[in-house]
Chains A and B, each alone.
Chain A
Amino acid sequence: MVDDPKFTPSRRRFLQGAAVAGGAVATGQLAHAQAADPLITDLGEQPWSQYLGDGVDAAPYGMPSRHEAHVVRRNVPWLTADSVSSVNFTPLHEMDGIITPNGLCFERHHGGVADIAMADHRLMINGLVDNQMVFTMEDIMRFPRENRTYFLECAANSGMEWRGSQLNGCQFTHGMIHNVMYTGVPLRLLLEEAGVKTEGTWLLAEGADASGMSRSIPMEKAMDDCLVAFAMNGERLRPEQGYPVRLVVPGWEGNMWVKWLRRLEVGDAPWHHREETSKYTDLLEHGEARRFTWEMDAKSVITNPSPQAPITHGPGPTVLTGVAWSGRGTIPRVDVTIDGGINWHQARMSGPSFEKSMHRFYFEFDWDGSPMLLQSRAHDSTGYVQPTKDALREIRGENSIYHNNGIQTWAVDESGAAENVEIG
Chain B
Amino acid sequence: MKTTFTLSALLLAGSASLAFAQEAPAPSRDGGYGLGRAALAEEVTAWDIDIRPDGQGLPVGSGDVWTGEELWIAQCSACHGDFGEAVGRWPVLAGGFGTLDGEDPVKTIGSYWPYLSTVWDYVHRAMPYGAAQSLENDDVYAIVAYLMYVNNLVEDDFTLSNENFLDVPLENEANFFMDDRMEVEFPVFTQEPCMENCAESIEITMRAAVLDVTPETAEDEAVVQEAAVTEEVVEEVVEEPAAAAAPDPELIAEGESTFRQCRSCHQVGEGARNAAGPMLNGIYNAQAGTREGFRYSPALVEAGEGGIVWDDAALTAYLLDPRGYIEGNRMAFRGMRDEADIPGLIAYLRAEGGE
Residues of chain A having any CB pair with chain B under 8 Å: 5, 66, 69-70, 72, 74-82, 84-85, 110-112, 124-127, 131-136, 139-140, 142-146, 164-169, 172, 185-186, 188-189, 192-193, 195, 204, 206, 210-212, 214, 262-263, 265, 267, 269, 271-274, 277-278, 281, 283, 285-295, 297, 307-308, 335, 339-344, 373, 377, 382-387, 391, 395, 398-399, 411, 419-424
Contact = CB atoms under 8 A, between A and B. Distances in A.
B193 A385 contact: yes
Contact of B26 (A81, A185, A387): A185
Contacts of A75: 215
B105 to A, nearest CB: 5
B195 interface: yes
A419 B179 contact: no
Contact of B179 (A131, A211, A293): A293
State the main secondary structure of chain B at its contact with A: loop
B202 interface: yes
Contact of A274 (B33, B38, B122, B186): B122
A206 B44 CA distance: 13
Interface of B: 23, 25-28, 32-33, 35-39, 43-44, 47-54, 56, 79, 88-91, 100-101, 103, 105, 107, 109, 112-115, 117-118, 121-122, 125-126, 129-130, 132-133, 175-181, 184-186, 188-199, 201-209, 211, 213-215, 217, 220-221, 224-225, 228, 260, 263-264, 275-276
Nearest to A81: B89
Given A124-B44, A277-B115, A341 B199 contact: yes
A192 B263 contact: no
Given A69-B224, A172-B215, 12 more contacts: A82-B264, A82-B275, A110-B126, A124-B39, A132-B44, A134-B37, A134-B38, A185-B26, A189-B26, A277-B118, A385-B192, A424-B205
A139 B36 contact: yes
Contact of B202 (A166, A167, A286, A339): A339
Contact of A377 (B126, B190, B193, B211): B193
A271 B50 contact: yes
Contacts of A343: 195-198
Contacts of B107: 278, 283
A143 B27 CA distance: 9
B28 A165 contact: no
Contacts of A291: 176-179
Contacts of A377: 193
Given A81-B89, A308-B217, A422 B43 contact: no
Contacts of A210: 126, 130, 132
Contacts of A342: 197-199, 201-202
Nearest to A340: B202
Contacts of B105: 283, 287, 399
B196 A193 contact: no
A133 B38 contact: yes
A134 B36 contact: yes
The interface centre, meaning the residue of A277, A293, A391, A422 with most chain B CB atoms within 10 A of its CB, is A277
Contact of A165 (B26, B109, B194, B208): B208
Given A192-B32, A269-B52, A294-B179, A419 B207 contact: yes
Contact of B44 (A126, A274, A278): A126
